[in-house]
């Protein structure tokens, strides 16, 4: 194809009816306040980790909700758990718990006791 100086992005289709939503349900059970999220992006705007890297917490939990787990586990490790996102969240989502739970569900671990 001739180079016109721009290209068309491949269509990105997310078919939620084919997605495996079990992990999402697990997450919503663990953090019920996440049901209130309106994806406003306040969390990303205030994020400390975001100031150094392209970590995007809104994108991360949105992808998790849709069942797209590619590279999500490594992405979530960038969080410093400082809690600023919670203080700005207009919907009172318990984001720190959300992040810990997403990581736990993705890595299939629970707390261990000595």
Minimum Å gap between C-beta 66 and other proteins is 23
Give yes or no for residue 29 binding other proteins (CB under 8 A).
no
22 binds other proteins (CB under 8 A): no
H/E stretch holding 76: helix 72-76
| DSSP, res 9 | P
* 59 near other proteins, judged by CB under 8 A: no
CA distance 14 to 70: 14
State the helix-helix crossing angle for 95-107 and 57-66, rounded to 10 degrees.
50
Q: Which residues bind other proteins (CB under 8 A)?
A: 32-33, 46, 48-49, 51-53, 55, 77-78, 80-84, 87-88, 92, 94, 96-97, 100, 103-104, 107, 109-114
């Amino acid at each position: 194809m001739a180079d016109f100086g721009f290209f068309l992005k491949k269509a990105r289709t997310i078919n939620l009816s084919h997605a495996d939503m079990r992990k999402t349900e697990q997450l919503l059970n663990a953090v019920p306040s996440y049901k209130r999220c309106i994806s406003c992006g306040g969390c990303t705007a205030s994020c400390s980790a975001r100031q150094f890297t392209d970590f995007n917490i809104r994108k991360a939990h949105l992808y998790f909700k849709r069942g797209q787990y590619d590279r999500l586990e490594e992405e979530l490790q960038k969080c410093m758990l400082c809690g600023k996102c919670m203080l700005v969240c207009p919907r009172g989502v318990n984001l720190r718990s959300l992040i810990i739970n997403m990581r736990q569900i993705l890595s299939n671990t629970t707390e261990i006791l000595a």
